Amino acid sequence: MSPSIDPGQRRDRCITVYGRRAVLEALRDPKLEVAGVTIAEMGGAVTSEVKKSATERGVDVRETSAHRVSLISGNGRQDQGVVADVIAPEMRALGDRLDELSRDPSRKQRLLVVDGVTTPGNLGLIIRSATAAGIDGIVVPRRGTAAIGPQVVKASAGTAFSSPILRTSDAPGALSELTDAGFAIVGLDAGAPTSLWEIDLPDRIAFLIGGEHEGASEQAAAFAHSWTSVPMPGGVESLNVACATTLVAFEIARRG
């Protein structure tokens, strides 16, 4: 049967996938738990196949209007009338993590805070690299950043389903909470004079990762205690945001 997830927690515990192929792959993968499937009432071969697969696995199926399905998917042109909520076991609200940390003051915590990364491919690569490097959490806001959907999942090579993603409404709010929780906030900027290889890494630190074109928003940047850059002796002006973030994540891993 479908796992029981409080409707109010779904946005912080589940990744929504849409389209026939993505939904069927999730339903047929024994490693993934699917909390529920929503299909358009219009019927047809696509929705019938998905409904059959969901029923065989004991996953709840809800039928609604095609318009409602499009609102859930956020991509009515490509959802084919089917969406599924896949449980991401390591994904939770940032507030829940901070509550845990408040009860364990000695617990080391190294986080990334994404602000304004709007290209799904970049966000997926950031999630994949950060998870591979053992980063404790990737703060992904619901506003101003690409939605965690099929394109992000694909770019992450499926890693997004098991990554320590921390959800929040927006980056400035998240940084405010992290500051109150005693985190050092370090912004990543190609023009910063301090090298990534030389900065201090306190036990609780959050790196602010800005968007592809404009960098971090003014509101988010205001929370940074310091800024750092990736040294580039070859004279290149800057790196792709996903590449730069990968270097940050593995520098954290290297130092332990």
pLDDT at 4 exceeding the cut of 70: no
5-9, 59-63, 96-100, 218-222: segment of lowest average pLDDT: 5-9
Mean pLDDT of the chain: 93
- Greater model confidence, 75 or 37: 37
202 vs 199: CA distance, rounded Å: 10
Distance CA 101, CA 250 (A): 23
Is the Cβ–Cβ distance between 164 and 90 less than 8 Å? yes
Q: What is the pLDDT of residue 8?
A: 60
Residue 238: band (very low, low, confident or very high) from pLDDT cuts 50, 70, 90: confident
> 7-87 and 92-255: same fold?
no
Calculate mean pLDDT across residues 36-41: 93
Q: Indicate the DSSP class of residue 4.
A: P
The confidence score (pLDDT) of residue 233 equals 83
Check whether 209 has a pLDDT greater than 70.
yes
Q: Is pLDDT of 124 > 80? A: yes
Whose tokens are 């070859």? That residue is 234
CATH level 3 topology of 92-255: Alpha/beta knot (3.40.1280)
pLDDT band at 3 (very low <50, low <70, confident <90, very high): low
Q: From residue 20, give the alpha-carbon distance in Å to each of 51, 150, 241.
A: 11, 11, 31
And the tokens for 94? Answer: 């940032």
2 band by pLDDT with thresholds 50, 70 and 90: low
pLDDT digits (tens, 9 = 90+) for 50-86: 999 999 999 999 999 999 999 999 888 889 999 999 9
Domain ranges of the chain: 7-87, 92-255
Structure confidence at residue 1 (pLDDT):
56
- 221 SS3 class: helix
Q: Is the pTM of this model over 0.75?
A: yes
Average pLDDT (136-155) is: 95
Most confident of 18-27, 175-184, 234-243: 175-184
CA 110 to each of CA 91, 134, 143, 183, 220: distance values in angstroms, whole numbers, following the listed order: 16, 9, 22, 9, 18
Q: Count H helices, E strands: the chain?
A: 10, 11
At the top level of CATH, which class does the domain 7-87 belong to?
A: alpha beta
Q: Do strands 109-114 and 137-141 pair parallel, antiparallel, or not at all (unpaired)?
A: parallel
